[in-house]
Structure 1
Amino acid sequence: MNKIILSLIFLMLLSSQILPQSAAEKFNLGTKAFVTKDYVEAYNYFESFFNEHNEIDEMYSTAKYYSGESLLNLGEKHAAKERFEFLVNNYKWSTFRDAALYKLGLIYFDTKKFEQSRDRLNILINNYPTSQYFGPALYWIGESYVEEGGIDVAIKYLEDAVAKRKSNKYIDYSIYTLANVYERKGEYQKAVEYYDQLLSFHKESKFAPIAQFRIGYCYFQLKEYQSAILELNNPTIESLPTDIHSEALYLLANSHYRLSEFSNAEDVFLKFIVDHPGSNLLRNTKYGLAWSYFQQEKYNDAFEVFNTLSLVDDSIGGNSFYWKAESKRYAGKESEALTIFKEFVQKYPGSVLVNNAKYQVGGIFFTGDKFKDSEKYLLESVDSDNAIVKSKAYILLGEMNLNNQNYSAARKNFKTTLSIADTLSDIYSNALLGLGISSFYLKQYNEAARSLIDLETKDASFNHNKVSFYLAESYFAKGNYAEAVKRYNKIDKDDRGLNGLSQYGKGYSYFNLKDYENAILSFSNFIKKNPTDIRNLDARLRLADSYYGNKNYISAGRIYKEIFLSNEEKARDPYVHYQYAQALFKGGNTSEAISEFRILQSTFPESEYADKSLYIVGWIFFQKNSYNDAINSYRVLLNTYPNSSLNPIVYYSIGDAFFNLNKYDSAIVNYQKVINQYP
């Protein structure tokens, strides 16, 4: 502006010397009026000047320029444009041509004729590289490309404008726009660099406060939430217009939330609600507040906010309706949650959360053992597009099948889950476990072991007691008792349920391995720690068998007798009676043994142990050299059980008894019966 005023003064002095008095006077009066910003008066004097001065010279071009400037200042852009175009096209030697080109660029920009604007500004930067308008021209060309969406070309011109820092009066505009363009491109780190440059070198710029906010926004988009919090807490933010200040608070609260700083998020959300009650972000903010409460396990507070939001039928209202039900569920108020979930299903059948709600209804019914109702909702929820909800529903259906001993259906549902769920998720692990268990009960022991080993390989800590137990059971069923013992031993002693079962399983494994000492220890441990378990009686019997196998007939006999004399079901098992009599016999109490064998035969005459008992009675007499008693006992067996599989050895034993009595003819008769009747 100073340059323009000096030029005017010089031309006024010059005009007074070379122009006729009337033309010079009008030029001088026009310039004076322009300097004093009386643009109407200036325009009129310059028009009168044109009527009297027809010579094409610097004075004429100057008058044209200031006539155009006067019109421009009066808001007459079209008329001003004509003056500037005339000057630019006809006075290429004019000292005001660069200024006229610049003004034309701005006029065309304001009227959104961006190509014409760039045409005039490009002439300026190509022909007047030292002009004071060179830097601003680069800026406006960049802005024109921004307006048209030519972001990459805009960046080139804006970077050039920023480089012309000293000669660009729009340097802060250039830096801010360049940063903003990078932000639009999603190059947030580059945007931050230029916003920071603006704050560092142009602190007094009107763009400084908004640049501070934009830096916070960019860091938020970069997921650098700690940096976003630092920038958005800058006091400069407080000077922003209300709408931008509210957005800054909203981003600040969300940054705290993303860092799991839920208490801080709560504070900022509450400040937003107090400071900006009319903001269009108010419902989003309340929704964020509800989530902050929820994450802090303030479920009652979360419910209150979600409930208020759910009264308005929009997307936030629909989501809030669902989450107010979740708030009740997490608060342990499942009956209230159930009611709200069912209302949600009715009210929002098209919601993306409807299958989530159906799953939760099914889950609540499941935990309440209402399996029929649970199954109905779970079968509906498997239609979800959400893989997590879908797989969770199949998991619950599989568990329900296990509870109902429908192992084939359980296996199918667990397999379906495996085809849906993320292999790294707990859902996938649960499905592998369920598949292993259901396969075990279907007697598909190899598949059971394979699934459980896959789970163990994937996550050794996942429900490892149950994994170890069913692996042990699978190995046991396959007859691999040594491997079964290893797996039983991996079960934690703190797990009372499975540890007890593992002792029972170990006892059987050791027994089958004929490791009677360890079998005795395992069965004894199980009996001691599980006195009311339904397996206790069977464990006592196997403990007696283990003592028997270990040749501790006295201990075996004592336990057999306890069972035999009890009123429990096992007391009526001929096996117990037989083992008791055997223990007496092996323990040297032959008289009592004979008595018990005879009682067994008379009590259970059709059992597999009846003929064996009579045979052992004969054998006891034989061992005592009471050959006649032995012969009589053997004959009782032959008469009572003529088709017994023991008869060949009975005849042979009778022959031996006669032989020992020196009755060789009788011995031969019985030996011949063996030869002739049982070839």
Structure 2
Amino acid sequence: MSNELRIILVVLIIVLILASLGTAVWLLFNNRLDQTIARAEEKYRLGDINDIKDGIEIYTSLVNNKQIPQDIAAEALLRSAEGYILLWQKTKDPSKLEVAQIRLKSVGEKFPLSSQARKAILLSARVNFLQGNYDVALSELDDALSKFSDPYIITEALNQKGEIYYAIGDYEKAIWNYSRPQNMNSEQAILGKARAYLKMDKIEKAIDLYLDFLKYNPQSVFVKDVRKTVLELMYNYAFNMYNSKDYGTAVKYFDMIVNLFPDDPKAENSYYWIAECFYDRRDWDEALSYFGKVLENRSSTAKDPDALFKLGMCWFELKDYY
């Protein structure tokens, strides 16, 4: 083997060794970086004031580390701003929101082309909303809607606008923003519209939205709360309709409870009040049927004595004395 060939082989071996070392160092660096970010997120998750402060400190150290890739530095700066919002939620200290706003502005200045810069606009609007600067927040959101086509940005901006208009009592505008085609199927939009309709005393529209939410979002984290809300809403609305002698509407919503929530205690009460609706309308046969359902194959409840009494009254009205 010639000397030239030996030199080439040695150089190749050295290059391979250096490449392997570089890869190992890069993997080690990224592993430590992932661990650092995970530690900061865990601090936020714990939620104690001191833990949140520790999380902010960790993210701030990443921002100041010149070896950190730009996208990670941008995310760290954004998350540090969110940390100050978390601190405000714990302390209600307005200075925390001021610091958050400064950091959000820095995201846009230092990383203007990043996805984090777009998110910072939304967070800045959120901070202005929390500070009561509604006009400023709306202006920022309109600016975001005019500049960006990212579906996430559009949905979040429209939802925030809906929330702001709801907060200031302009429920029509809140519903309009929640109902925009780009936004109308988001969970926040559906629930926001339902709340706005409730404020406008449009109970049936709110109920329909809550029921649609349960139907099309069975895995949502909000399902339990929405189920409780709509069940209570339907029952109270049906009962109010009964007291107003609107028996048709009362039966409709009591019957919906029976069919949609058969295992809930309110279902048995609903059978009873359906029977009362028919009783008050002097429809003795239907009343008999529903008073009977209160007693059939169900555990004993406080309504049983009333149902038994009304069964007797129905038979009396039908002149079936025996």
Pick closer, same or farther for the CA change 1:250–1:145 going to 2, 3 Å: farther
TM-score, normalised with respect to structure 1: 0.30
Question: 3-state SS of the aligned residue for 2:115?
Answer: coil
Pick closer, same or farther for the CA change 1:189–1:41 going to 2, 3 Å: closer
Residues 175 and 192, structure 2, Cα contact 8 Å, conserved in 1: no
Pick closer, same or farther for the CA change 1:233–1:127 going to 2, 3 Å: same
Within the candidate set 200, 215, 218, 1:203 is matched to 218
Distance apart, 1:233 and its partner CA: 0.8
Within the candidate set 276, 284, 307, 1:257 is matched to 276
RMSD: 4.8
Query: What's the % identity of the aligned pairs?
Result: 15
Q: What per-residue deviation string (whole Å, max 9, x for no partner) do you get for residues 337-378 of structure 1?
A: xxxxxxxxxxxxxxxxxxxxxxxxxxxxxxxxxxxxxxxxxx
Partner of 1:33: 36
Distance apart, 1:237 and its partner CA: 6.2
Total equivalences in the alignment: 251
Q: What per-residue deviation string (whole Å, max 9, x for no partner) do you get for residues 89-121 of structure 1?
A: 665433202222333444555666655544443
Partner of 2:191: 176
Residues 162 and 178, structure 2, Cα contact 8 Å, conserved in 1: yes
Residues 226 and 255, structure 1, Cα contact 8 Å, conserved in 2: yes
| Counterpart AA for 1:175 | I
Partner of 2:100: 80
C-alpha distance in 1 between matches for 2:192 and 2:75:
34
Partner of 1:329: none
Whether 1:236 aligns to 2:261 is yes
Whether 1:159 aligns to 2:172 is no
C-alpha distance in 2 between matches for 1:142 and 1:297:
52
Whether 1:185 aligns to 2:200 is yes
Residues 176 and 195, structure 1, Cα contact 8 Å, conserved in 2: yes
Q: What per-residue deviation string (whole Å, max 9, x for no partner) do you get for residues 471-503 of structure 1?
A: xxxxxxxxxxxxxxxxxxxxxxxxxxxxxxxxx
Partner of 2:161: 141
Residues 101 and 124, structure 1, Cα contact 8 Å, conserved in 2: yes
Pick closer, same or farther for the CA change 1:297–1:252 going to 2, 3 Å: closer
C-alpha distance in 1 between matches for 2:77 and 2:207:
45
Distance apart, 1:149 and its partner CA: 2.1
Partner of 1:128: 148
Distance apart, 1:29 and its partner CA: 5.9
C-alpha distance in 2 between matches for 1:87 and 1:93:
10
Question: 3-state SS of the aligned residue for 1:149?
Answer: coil
Partner of 2:80: 67
TM-score, normalised with respect to structure 2: 0.56
C-alpha distance in 2 between matches for 1:249 and 1:149:
38
| Counterpart AA for 1:204 | Q
Pick closer, same or farther for the CA change 1:272–1:73 going to 2, 3 Å: farther
Which has the higher relative contact order, 1 or 2, with Cα contacts under 8 A spaced 6 or more apart?
Answer: 2
Partner of 1:374: none
Partner of 1:426: none
| Counterpart AA for 1:233 | V
C-alpha distance in 1 between matches for 2:117 and 2:160:
18
Residues 78 and 107, structure 2, Cα contact 8 Å, conserved in 1: yes
C-alpha distance in 2 between matches for 1:272 and 1:113:
55
Distance apart, 1:49 and its partner CA: 5.3
C-alpha distance in 1 between matches for 2:105 and 2:272:
54
Larger Rg belongs to = 1
Question: 3-state SS of the aligned residue for 1:224?
Answer: helix
Partner of 1:194: 209
Pick closer, same or farther for the CA change 1:90–1:123 going to 2, 3 Å: farther
| Counterpart AA for 2:38 | V
C-alpha distance in 1 between matches for 2:194 and 2:301:
32
Distance apart, 1:202 and its partner CA: 2.0
C-alpha distance in 2 between matches for 1:262 and 1:28:
70
C-alpha distance in 2 between matches for 1:141 and 1:151:
11
C-alpha distance in 2 between matches for 1:297 and 1:211:
32
Q: Mapping of 1:281-430 within 5 angstroms? A: 296=313
Distance apart, 1:41 and its partner CA: 5.2
Distance apart, 1:225 and its partner CA: 2.9
Q: What per-residue deviation string (whole Å, max 9, x for no partner) do you get for residues 33-55 of structure 1?
A: 223424455533443455675xx
Residues 145 and 154, structure 2, Cα contact 8 Å, conserved in 1: yes
Give unpaired runs (5+ residues) of structure 2.
1-21, 44-52, 91-95, 280-285, 316-322
Distance apart, 1:141 and its partner CA: 2.3
